[in-house]
Structure 1
């Protein structure tokens, strides 16, 4: 009952602030993070191990939801643009961090560059009406690729830290990851060709939405377990499960049933806990150096992103760049993993954490400013 009480307080307060932020034109998860920051000074006796489990479930469901947003075909098509853009962004962020680490190359640069290269899927979805539906899949593809790569990079650095000088386990682990992901994509391709009709007919025979959701959860947790066992983060298995359950494979009706339930469970229960937990564990430092670091990083990302995904008019190019350069809450998790594992210094963890949160706020604000600017001519015409 004590745990249930804490869960109730966190969800209620997080959703309250989320509603307030939504009314101000910002994504609700920023309010949930803020709620966590406030509650960190109040819930001092909270059982952290149990709440950590709830937060990890939140990440699991968020990655499933991200997978459900795109299809493998869209990810493959958009990846032709976003994968080179991610590589360019990562290199740029790596170079930008060098002056702040005394021009020394270390795990700090490698991990912080991965954190600073992430895009926030919720920000992308909020800005889609500004840069157009046709660009949405490109922006979401970048968000997915950047999140998966950041988790991959931090776990590689952890393995190197655990096995200094011995790269055989690392190479073996990378090969396992490649075989696992490649195998899942190949199975999805084969099933989509030969077994699609059978799968749709089978799901139609199920009498309840709960049965569809139950089967999907068995499938998702199985992939998550395999993902964790081979050395990847468990949430990547959840993302792959969501990616496979696209409407072309399971049918539009079953897809709608599944997404409705997953969305309710995710954003009604577990996501507020995950975002609030990130706020509860938020660690940073406020100084002129940190603000200078963020300003350099954000300007560099915005210019690079806007140039690569440019549009014929400048405002749309800026919003597209802001969507790609929206950082992300997952960066806080990646930083925490690196810091706890001893591969990320406290100073760079604090700087990357603040940059992630400020980047989300800045991109959302930039979207609102551009929206206001674009709305003025329309109001004049009316």
Structure 2
């Protein structure tokens, strides 16, 4: 009952602030993070291990939802544009962090660059009406690729830290990861060609939405378990499960049934806990150096992104760039994993964490400013 009480308080307060942020024109998850920051000073005796488990479930469901947003074909098509952009962004962020680590290249730079190169899928969806339908899949693809590669880089650094000089197990683990992902995508391709009709007919025979959801949860948790066992983050297995359950494979009706339940469970229960938990564990420091760090990082990244995805008109190019340069909550998780594992210093963890949160606010604010400007111009023209 103690756990249930804490869960109730966190969800209720997180959703209350989320509604307030939505009314101000910001994504609700920013309110949920803020709720966590406020509650961190109040819920001092909270059972952290149990709440951490619920937050992990929140991440799992969020990655499933991200996978359901795109199809393998869209990810493949958009990845041709976004993967080079991600590599370029990561390289630039790596170089920009060097002056802040005393001109010494270390794991701090590798992980900080991974954190600072991510994009926020919720911000991308919030700004999608400025993008055009053709660019939405590109922006979502960047968000997905940046999150997966960011987690992968963090775990690679941790493995090198745990077994310095012994590269055999690390190469073996990377090979397992590639085989696992490649096999799943190939199976998905074969099923889409030969077994699609049978799968749709089978799912149609199921009488309830709960049965469809139950089968999907068995499938997604199995992939999550396998991905964790071979050295990947368990959430990547959840993302791959969502990626494979696209409407072309399971049928539009079954896809709608599935996404409705997953969305309700994710954003009604587990996502508020996950975002609030990130706020509860938020670590930062306020100083001139931290503000300078964020100002440089965001300016460089916004300019780079806007130039890379530019379209006619400065406002559209800026909003597209803001969508790509929206950082992301998953960056807070990467920083926490790196800090706890001893491969990210407390100073860089604090600076990268604050940059992630401020970057989300900055991109959302830029989108609101452009929206206000366009409305003002439209009313003047009328």
Instruction: Please indicate, yes or no, whether the TM-score normalized by the shorter chain is above 0.5.
Output: yes
Aligned equivalents of 2:131 and 2:52: distance in 1?
Answer: 36
**Alignment-derived partner of residue 366 in structure 2:** 366
**Alignment-derived partner of residue 8 in structure 2:** 8
**Alignment-derived partner of residue 238 in structure 2:** 238
**Alignment-derived partner of residue 29 in structure 1:** 29
Aligned equivalents of 1:373 and 1:380: distance in 2?
Answer: 11
Instruction: Quote the offset at 1:323 in angstroms.
Output: 0.1
Please show how residues 119-138 of structure 1 align to structure 2 within 5 Å: 119-138=119-138
Please show how residues 264-279 of structure 1 align to structure 2 within 5 Å: 264-279=264-279
**Alignment-derived partner of residue 112 in structure 2:** 112
Please show how residues 243-282 of structure 1 align to structure 2 within 5 Å: 243-282=243-282
Instruction: Quote the offset at 1:46 in angstroms.
Output: 0.4
Instruction: Quote the offset at 1:374 in angstroms.
Output: 1.0
1:17 aligns with 2:29: no
Aligned equivalents of 2:238 and 2:279: distance in 1?
Answer: 23
Aligned equivalents of 2:17 and 2:113: distance in 1?
Answer: 31
**Alignment-derived partner of residue 335 in structure 1:** 335
Please show how residues 120-199 of structure 1 align to structure 2 within 5 Å: 120-199=120-199
3-state DSSP of counterpart to 2:122: helix
Aligned equivalents of 2:81 and 2:130: distance in 1?
Answer: 20
Alpha-carbon deviations, 1:85-137, whole Å to 9, x = none? 00000000000000001111100000000000000000000000112121100
Instruction: Quote the offset at 1:379 in angstroms.
Output: 1.0
3-state DSSP of counterpart to 1:25: coil
1:218 aligns with 2:218: yes
Aligned equivalents of 1:219 and 1:176: distance in 2?
Answer: 19
TM, length-normalised to structure 1: 1.00
**Alignment-derived partner of residue 375 in structure 1:** 375
**Alignment-derived partner of residue 100 in structure 1:** 100
Aligned equivalents of 2:376 and 2:20: distance in 1?
Answer: 25
3-state DSSP of counterpart to 1:242: helix
Aligned equivalents of 1:182 and 1:303: distance in 2?
Answer: 34
Instruction: Quote the offset at 1:142 in angstroms.
Output: 0.1
**Alignment-derived partner of residue 62 in structure 2:** 62
Alpha-carbon deviations, 1:313-347, whole Å to 9, x = none? 11100000000000000000000000000000000
3-state DSSP of counterpart to 2:344: coil
Aligned equivalents of 1:168 and 1:296: distance in 2?
Answer: 39
Alpha-carbon deviations, 1:232-263, whole Å to 9, x = none? 00000000000000000000000000000000
Unpaired runs of at least 5, structure 1: none
Aligned equivalents of 2:164 and 2:53: distance in 1?
Answer: 30
Instruction: Quote the offset at 1:375 in angstroms.
Output: 1.0
**Alignment-derived partner of residue 85 in structure 1:** 85
Aligned equivalents of 2:185 and 2:346: distance in 1?
Answer: 38
Instruction: Quote the offset at 1:381 in angstroms.
Output: 3.1
**Alignment-derived partner of residue 283 in structure 2:** 283
Aligned equivalents of 1:235 and 1:127: distance in 2?
Answer: 25
The alignment's C-alpha RMSD in Å is 0.5
Deviates more, 1:370-379 or 1:109-118: 370-379
Unpaired runs of at least 5, structure 2: none
TM, length-normalised to structure 2: 1.00
Instruction: Quote the offset at 1:58 in angstroms.
Output: 0.1
3-state DSSP of counterpart to 2:343: coil
**Alignment-derived partner of residue 47 in structure 2:** 47
Question: 4+ residue runs of structure 1 moved beyond 2 angstroms?
Answer: none
